[in-house]
Amino acid sequence: MFQNNSLLIQLKNKLHKKKPRVEGIVKSTSKGFGFLEVDSKKTYFIPSKNMKKVIHGDKIIALIEKENDKEIVYPEKLIEPFLKRFIGSIYKKNNCIYIQSNYPYVRNTTFYRYKTSVQRSWKNGDWVIAELKKHSLRDNNYFSIKIIKFISEKNNPLLPWYVILTRHNLEKKSPIVNFLSLTSHIIENNNRIDLTYLDFITIDSYNTKDIDDALFVEKTENDKFILTVAIADPTEYILEDTEIDNIAKKRMFTNYLPGLNISMLPKELSENICSLQPFLKRPVLACRIIIDNSGHIIMKKTEFFLAWIKSKSKLSYEKVSDWLEKKGNWRPDNEKIEQQILLLKKIYIIRNFWRKKNALVFKDRLEYRFNISKEWEILNISIEKRRIAHKIIEESMITANICAANFLDKKLGFGLYNTHSGFNIFNAKNVIEFLKQYNIFYKVEEIMTLSGFCKLRRSLDELCNEYVNYRIYRFQSFGEISIFSKPHFSLGLTSYATWTSPIRKYSDMINHRLIKSVINKKNNIMPPDNILLSHIIDRKRKTRMAVREIEEWLYIKFFYKQNLHNTYYQADIIDILKGGIRARLLKNGAFIFIPASYIHNVRNELVFYPELGVIYIKNKIHYKVSDNIIVHSLIINNDTRTIIASLVN
């Protein structure tokens, strides 16, 4: 009798409007319930039945009601869905197809209402791209999706690569283009100097095919060195705004992934026509650099020019390092090659000494390589150490890049420069206060200059405290790319512009074109624009994330087949989080997580300070970033692709 009573309906609506509402972000848990995070300090409980209306990450307005003195969230209105386009896998149950998102915190949400134009008989484990079309809180009280694209079958050995690259909208294969009309012959450029008679050599990894740099050294009578750096010149074949150029501009980089390289250019160009293979005549952009016996570059005499070269020997880092370190039986083919290697080593020694004194030198860090079979099985994970030959080539390339930055700045006033600004004013003040406890005293104004920053870094090198280095790195700004010349504080250089990898980096191709424009005396040379800069930054970020996520997936595969019980590992703490320790195993480079419950068994005695990189137990610092620890009992969490470890106290 009261069902359609207008007064009662008005009263209900009035009471409903009076109930408190909040706006926040949904956070799910593995146990089905969740929380509504209003801000960093306030959260509300969402019971399992109410979580069925929302997805982790959704921004919603919710009704708050009290039940048994507990504030309960009732989702009311969707402001913005978290899940839009996503990657997921298919599984079948009772003749129905379900799609499960690959995003860790959304894996508890499955979708069975879907539409698709993809013509395929779906199999268990198929991976797809899907798009959320209807949301339970907004559309008819249910979720539905549209399957956009098929990615891979479950048993595809390249599954980790395909899924992660698709997630970040990165290419899965090297480009294949019909470019014969552009590369069937090379223009006989009269500006090119014939240097094919000189003993240029290349030093790369044993299996490198895209060889982009060759070196030749001669020593003068007054103890100066003349270093000629010859760089492969793909711009001789690739004109601006052609099909190949636009492909390279979109890709921006050759992606070096674990076990798989995806080139920026078609391989016929990068590994054949442009590659500085031995005994083949190749066009190059070259730089002749005069270095005195103290390692100083005589910049006024530096010269950029176009040339032809023939590499006289393709050498590997491993064999050159062995020979210089007097290991093994390998030796260069002849005395001329021997002489080139020895002269390059001398240049490395004096230039490295100069940089230590006048700029900055990076410390060596361990690198890890996944050794993968032809069937895409992980054979092992090896430690890659930078040896003397690596350092020789690196020093030569840094020298060439310093010269390119100076050339572009003087001749054009613009280019693509790698920059780093050190500290901003706020963080500089924090650095000063932090270092006082280690009896290191500087002024804010001092460390915000290039010379002062270098002086500070040298002080820290003398201190030899990795925890202090960690804290200082946290205060530093990020590296940037600039159209105009700016200092690179982390290198300790007034200017730095890379041009030595144009086969692998489009930004280096751009600097090639700018340098060649000056050599060829072109007019109205235009600088790169900010749209290009943004694209470079975006692609670099996506590539870095893809490499990390593929590595995480491969580490899970690697450990999944091993007996992890009673195995102990050394690890370095690399970060302190709100609920645990992030560390890296020294043996194979795997990243692990140690939750609070595996650190100390009394939770209220344990306090984490992520911003300081330390953990207190009973009011004393017990662990900090850079500490070497022992862990065991690795547990694989396939849902989050996390390796959980227990700390050995």
In 3-state terms, what secondary structure has residue 164?
helix
Contact between 433 and 458 under an 8 Å Cβ cutoff? The reply is no
CA distance 412 to 406: 10
Amino acid identity, position 528 = P
CA distance 153 to 137: 32
Residue of 58, 126, 212, 322 with catalytic role: 212
| Pairing of β 303-316 and β 642-647 | unpaired
> What's the distance, CA 230 to chain centroid?
28
114 is annotated as an active-site residue: no
Q: How far is CA 544 from CA 293, 495, 548, 581, 634, in A?
A: 39, 24, 6, 22, 26
Closest of 33, 166, 28 to residue 107, by C-alpha: 28
DSSP letter string, 201-217: EEEE-TT-----EEEEE
| Crossing angle (nearest 10°) for helices 335-358 and 388-411 | 70
Which residue is listed with tokens 């001398």? 346
Residue of 317, 348, 368, 569 with catalytic role: 317
212 is annotated as an active-site residue: yes
Q: Which two tokens stand for residue 113?
A: 């209402």
Closest of 202, 215, 188 to residue 283, by C-alpha: 188
- The dihedral built from the CA positions of residue 73, 76, 78 and 79, taken in this order, carries a sign that is negative
Residue of 251, 504, 539, 584 with catalytic role: 504
CA distance 217 to 225: 7
Contact between 503 and 270 under an 8 Å Cβ cutoff? The reply is yes
317 is annotated as an active-site residue: yes
471 is annotated as an active-site residue: no
Residue of 58, 126, 210, 627 with catalytic role: 210
Residue of 213, 245, 322, 627 with catalytic role: 213
Half-sphere exposure (Cβ direction) of 130: Cα atoms closer than 13 Å? 29
Residue of 204, 233, 245, 322 with catalytic role: 204
Q: Which two tokens stand for residue 301?
A: 């005499």
Q: Which two tokens stand for residue 109?
A: 């949400």
544 is annotated as an active-site residue: no
Closest of 103, 75, 71 to residue 89, by C-alpha: 103
409 is annotated as an active-site residue: no
Contact between 248 and 263 under an 8 Å Cβ cutoff? The reply is no
CA distance 163 to 172: 9
Which residue is listed with tokens 């924090």? 430
Q: How far is CA 435 from CA 169, 289, 467, in A?
A: 43, 40, 12
Q: Which two tokens stand for residue 137?
A: 């809180």
Active site residues: 204, 210, 212-213, 317, 504
